[in-house]
Structure 1
Amino acid sequence: MFSTYRRLLAEPGLRSLMVIGLLAKMPGLGISTVLILHIVGHLHRGFAAGSLVAACWTAGAGLGAPLQGRGLDRYGLRRVFGLLVTAQAVFWSLAHFLPYPVLLGAAFLGGLTTLPAFTVIRLALAGLVTDENRHTAYAVDAMTTDIAYMAGPTIGILLASTASPTVAFLVMGGLQLLVGVAYLVLDPPLQQARPTGGPTPGLRSWLTARMVCALGVTVATSIAVVGFEVAAVGTLQRHGQLAWSWLLLVLAGVASVAGGFLYGAMKRPPSVFVLTAVLGLLCMPIGLATQWYWLCLLAVPANLFVAPALSASAGAVSGIAPEGTKGVAMGTYASAILVGNVIGSPLAGAGLDHGGPKAAFAVFGATAAAVAALAHVCDARLRSRQKNTEHTERTAQADQDLEKAGVTQ
């Protein structure tokens, strides 16, 4: 098992990429929390107002991810990041002084130009790592995401509570800029950028039916992940045990890292459709818990599949996208995760309001499993049709070759 990871980490440039990738993800995952605390603590507005600013940032990031990916495909990392780092420097230097109405629009623009940390590291892994180690590399990427998810918001909250929301705001922005500069210096090989005057691949060149299946299962995975968070915290609140939420989230993160570690060591890992369907199904019985310790215990099996499902979905999207379009495809992958967040959170919340914890976990878990199953069926049919078409083409070519050989003789 450990030999798999030793072989992966021996790849040139991989260790520094993983370290910078981890540092890049932390502010990306903590910015929403810091924005909310800034609105509440510095501008003295409510959490609803803070959540609206965070939503504007998220909306901008979701819209900007495919556009940034297309820019990476066409112009390469340094030209794109030079522009984005400049835009982020302007935002973080001015946002602290902006009144609330202006900050709403600025947050959208800030999200639109945020650094595509997740997209870049996945593109770099596709270029740096051999086919043999690729699924292991994506598993490590998913594990670092779990670590960043536990660390990023926590650091923001600690800075806001021990120093001030202003300090947290500026530290997160500063870290974002430092990471951008580090990427500019490292300049990891993504793929060869196309000449400026070269032809631009159209939407149909990469957004195929199979790509839609891969993006669909990505949405399903995200529904399960964010649905679990909302339903689990809501369940603890209903039972008056919210103080244990930190332990639940830490255990969930550790379980996900452990699952990603095991997945990365597999020589023949399960498909993304199986992993996501199992993740959704294992979320459903968590709603039976009525005490915090049962909730923690039941959450472990489901979260073992979080990192594997995320890494497998990233690998599926990257594998289907042809060269020259991987940037826009991985940017769209990031947007698909945000779409799942937008669906999963209200889905779990509505289940809690109308049917309690059992309904909440059942609804989002069944939805994730059903979407994964549907995507699997569609993908299987498409692959079967593709094989039949290729077989027919080979047969026709062979017949033509025989006819030409007969004429020659």
Structure 2
Amino acid sequence: MCHASGVSASSASLSDYRVVLTSPGAPGPVLASVVGRLPIAMIGLATLLFVQRATGSFAAAGLVSAGVLVGEGTGAVLQGRFMDRRGATRPLILAAMLFGLAVAALAAAVEADQPLPVLVALAVVAGLVQPALPGASRALWADLVPPGPLRSTAYGYEAISLEVFFILGPAIAAFLVAAPWPGTGLAVAAAAMVVGAVGFALTPAVRARSARTAHGGSPAVGPTSPGLLGVLAEPGMRTVAIASLGFGLVVGTVEVGVPAVTAAAGSAAMGGVLLSAWSVMSVLAGVLYGLRPWPRPLHLRMPVLLGVFAVFVAAMALTGPSGSLAVLVVAMLLAGAVITPQVTAHSMAVDIAAPAETATEAFGWVITAATIGIAAGQSVAGVVVEEAGPPAAFLAGGVAGVVLAVVLWLRRGTLATTPAAVPVAS
């Protein structure tokens, strides 16, 4: 790998995305990963809403939802590390089967009114075996497109699509809570994840990569991921993880605060509408931002974008105790405009911060940090909503995001000068 300082991200046109998505071997994994990754962010909120309906407590529901997300974050790293050594096919199929069983057990326990510790424990297990599809999907692009602008575009697609899933998934979960059975959202999410993960694992491109890796085609075994932290031992990867953590923390407060505001206004389903609008704004603004990203250096982009995001979310607190949806919508859409640029920056920074042979594990850490952040944000917001109302939850999330943006700014040098950096086309 080459050294780089002050790395800048390339811009990508719509035609570049079309070339990448239609590359030989790409359509099958892309379609399967869409089905399997869409429910990733849906699982947490679907669990929260299901448990809240069953127990009547946002605080209890937040703890169970956090259990799923914390387990998911841990499982993503462990599964990713194993896939970097043995390939993705068998681990994904095994994880998908175990995940289906774990979610069924959790749903049965909720229906049986089991104690909260039991629900949290089952939620953690479900998260641990949730298929680590995002990391496997991102790593596969190294086989499908050559290095350079097209691969950067492929990573941009992964980031944009994952961002859509992180926002659209909760919106779907909010809609499905109105179904006759409040666990419908959780069941739909689990089924889609199982089908998508198995379908992805069985595509020819993934099977070929798995066969090559299992027969010694990957140099990832050995010192590339030392110790318990693995690739997170790289200072630059810790910076990327902090950025992803801050993003998830702020998003988690919004995912709880918005449904709480709309429920107080007399329309629980409106929460799903607003989250859907957030998703649309995020994608549109993200595509436009990708044409001319700013700041161009990734080590500056991450703290700036997180800080702007946090300020806009804090502004959502101006909705006030009266629940003014107009103020909420404006601030929410402004915040949504900087979501995709953040997730894209996280994905591209992995190439700067981590060795290429640890791609699955490295991206697993990004997912882990985001899910832990969402879990913390949802848990804290659930308590704050009950004690002080939704505006206070938005304010708490915004302040936390600003604090972590300052931390990122102080650590910006770890991405500007890291020895693992690779050149990015400009």
Alpha-carbon distance change, 323 to 154 in structure 1, aligned in 2, over 3 angstroms = closer
* Residues 306-328 of structure 1 deviation map (CA, whole Å, 9 limit, x = unaligned): 01101211221243211332222
Tell me the CA shift for residue 184 of structure 1. 2.0
2:191 to 150, 174, 177: 174
Q: Which residue of 2 aligns with 1:404?
A: none
For residue 122 of structure 1, the aligned residue among 116, 130, 138 is: 138
CA contact (8 A) 1:64 1:112 kept: yes
- CA distance 1:253–1:363, change in 2 (3 Å): same
Matched to 1:220, the amino acid is: G
Q: Which amino acid aligns with 2:358?
A: T
Distance 1:160 1:229 in 2: 14
AA partner of residue 78 (structure 2): L
Structure 2: distance between partners of 1:354 and 1:74: 47
Cα distance, 1:55 vs structure 2: 3.4
* Deviation digits for residues 154-205 of structure 1 (CA, Å, limit 9, x no counterpart): 5556666546457665544433322222022115456863649953531477
Partner SS, residue 326 of structure 1: helix
- In the alignment, what sits opposite 1:246? 272
Aligned mates of 1:210, 1:266 — CA distance in 2: 24
Whether the 8 Å contact between 2:66 and 2:378 is mirrored in structure 1 is: no
**Alpha-carbon offset, residue 27 of structure 1:** 3.1
Question: Does the 8 A contact of 1:286 with 1:298 survive in 2?
Answer: yes
1:23 pairs with 2:35: yes
- Higher relative helix content: 1
Kindly tell me: are residues 353 and 30 of structure 1, through their superposed partners in 2, closer, same or farther at Cα, counting changes over 3 Å?
closer
Amino acid at match of 2:412: D
Tell whether the 8 Å contact from 1:284 to 1:362 is kept in structure 2 after alignment: yes
State, as a whole percentage, how many aligned pairs show the same letter: 24
Amino acid at match of 1:371: L
Q: Which runs of 5+ in 2 are unaligned?
A: 1-12, 421-426
Distance 2:61 2:395 in 1: 30
Q: Where do residues 98-137 of structure 1 align in structure 2 (5 Å cutoff)?
A: 100=114, 104-129=120-145, 130-137=147-154
The corresponding residue for 2:4 is: none
Q: Equivalent residue for 2:8? A: none
Q: 2:409 aligns with which of 349, 372, 376?
A: 376
Amino acid of the structure 2 residue aligned with 1:6: R
Q: For residues 345-372 of structure 1, give each alpha carbon's deviation from its aligned partner in whole angstroms, at most 9, with x where no partner exists.
A: 4555677678766654444324323322
Quote the Cα distance in structure 2 between the aligned partners of 1:169 and 1:339.
Answer: 19
Q: CA deviation at 1:108?
A: 2.5
Per-residue displacement from partner, 1:187-234 (whole Å, max 9, x unpaired)?
A: 545686364995353147732112111111111222222233334444
How far apart in 2 are the matches of 1:167 and 1:284?
32
Q: Distance in 2 between matches of 1:355 and 1:276?
A: 25
Deviates more, 1:84-93 or 1:19-28: 84-93
What residue is the counterpart of 1:79 in the other structure?
90
Tell me how far 1:258 sits from its aligned partner.
0.9
Cα distance in 2 for residues equivalent to 1:380 and 1:214: 12
Structure 1: distance between partners of 2:27 and 2:407: 37
Deviation for aligned residue 1:293: 1.6
SS of 1:202's equivalent in the other structure is coil
Range with greater deviation from structure 2 (174-183 or 140-149): 140-149
| Residue 25 of structure 2, aligned match among 3, 13, 16 | 13
Aligned-residue offset at 1:105: 3.7
Match 1:229 to one of 255, 263, 269: 255
TM-score (norm 2): 0.75
Structure number with greater CO (CA < 8 Å, separation at least 6) is: 2
The 2-side partners of 1:354 and 1:38 are apart by 21
Match of 2:424?
Answer: none
Task: Provide the aligned C-alpha RMSD in A.
Answer: 3.7
Cα 1:294–1:241 change in 2 (3 A) is farther
Aligned partners of 2:357 and 2:88: how far apart in 1?
13
Provide, for residues 69-89 of structure 1, a one-character-per-residue CA deviation record: whole Å limited to 9, x for no partner.
Answer: 111111111131232133235
Specify whether residues 276 and 137 from structure 1 end up closer, same or farther in structure 2 by C-alpha distance, changes over 3 A only. farther
Counterpart of 1:59 (choices 55, 70, 82) is 70
Q: Which of 261, 264, 268 is the equivalent residue of 2:290?
A: 264
CA distance in 1, matches of 2:139, 2:249: 24
3-state SS in 2 of match to 1:374: helix
Instruction: Please report how far the alpha carbon of residue 256 of structure 1 lies from its aligned counterpart in structure 2 after TM superposition.
Output: 0.8
Distance 2:56 2:383 in 1: 22
Cα distance in 2 for residues equivalent to 1:342 and 1:251: 22
* Partner Cα separation in structure 1 for residue 266 and residue 177 of structure 2: 26
- Report deviation, 1:301: 1.9
Q: How far apart are the structure 2 equivalents of 1:236 and 1:109?
A: 32
Report SS of the residue matched to 1:325. helix
Deviation at 1:279, TM superposition (A): 1.7
Distance in 2, matches of 1:33 and 1:385, equals 36
The structure-2 alpha-carbon separation of the partners of 1:166 and 1:332, relative to structure 1 and needing over 3 Å to count, comes to closer
In 1, Cα distance between equivalents of 2:203 and 2:89: 10
Q: Output one character per residue of 1:47-98: Cα deviation in whole Å (capped at 9) or x when no partner.
A: 5665554333223212211111111111111131232133235435666655
Give the match for residue 202 of structure 2.
185
C-alpha contact 2:96 2:194 (8 A) present in aligned 1: yes
Cα distance change on mapping 1:241 and 1:356 into 2, 3 Å:
same
Match of residue 305 from structure 2: 275
TM-score, normalized by length of structure 1? 0.78
Residue 241 of structure 1: how far off its partner (Å): 7.1
Alignment of 1:83-102 (within 5 A): 83-91=94-102, 100=114
